[in-house]
Amino acid sequence: MTHIPIKTDVEEEKENKKKKKRFLWFWLSLILLVGIAGGSYLYFNHGSSTPESQLVAGDFLPKKKDARQMTDAELAQYAQKAVDASQFQLMINPKSTINFDTQSGYIGIKNPKNNAYPINVNFYTSDNIKIYTSGAIEPGQEVTSGSLSTKLRKGTYEVKARFDIYDNKTKQKRGQQSAILEMTVQ
């Protein structure tokens, strides 16, 4: 024989009150979440009380006067100038040869004429010791030989060349590129 628990009226009333409380808390929580979401949406998307732009009566675009339509060739040339000004071509010989006695020798770095920016090139050993600085190299200039600032022993080294790119007007650094080369000290 199975035993079926029988609830009394008091127990049933308590359970009904619990259910009602849970039901109310659920709806209050849901309303609160919807209110927060709606308020956040309005605040971030429509919260500004002042319009972003105002139209003043009578302030309209004037009639065309001096403007003319650009040809496709002119438009392409204008776009190409903007692209050329934003690009940088890195040119360095992948092998350098340095005389052990003088610590100077062949270093092949070019800043092509089509580059828009001056550069400075620093060489670093694998343990990040700076061994050479080129100084400013303007577009159309090259470095064919130089002297190391830190003495190296005879041998072949893997050297990181860091190209620092500068704005030609403000002289502030705009960015950098790196290349790996082989340097032989003999």
Quick: pLDDT tens for 57-76.
556 667 777 777 878 888 77
Asked if 85 and 114 touch (Cβ cutoff 8 Å), the reply is: no
What's the distance, CA 45 to chain centroid? 27
> What is the model's pLDDT at position 48?
53
| pLDDT for residue 77 is more than 90 | no
The predicted pLDDT at position 86 comes to 62
Q: What pLDDT does residue 146 have?
A: 94
Average per-residue pLDDT in the chain? 84
Q: Higher model confidence: residue 16 or residue 130?
A: 130
- Output the pLDDT for position 1: 52
Q: Which of 82-91, 108-117, 165-174 has the lowest mean pLDDT?
A: 82-91
Range 144-165 average pLDDT: 95
How many whole angstroms separate alpha carbon 154 and alpha carbon 146?
A: 17
| Token digits of residue 113 | 């004429």
Q: Taking residues 124-129, what's their average pLDDT? A: 95
What is the pLDDT, as a whole number, of residue 85?
62
Sign of CA dihedral 31, 35, 41, 46: positive
**Residue 98 CA neighbour count, 13 Å, CB half:** 25
pLDDT at residue 60, as a whole number: 63
pLDDT given for residue 115 in this prediction: 84
Q: What global pTM score does this model have? A: 0.56
Q: What is the pLDDT of residues 88-116, one digit of tens each?
A: 787 899 999 999 999 999 999 999 888 88
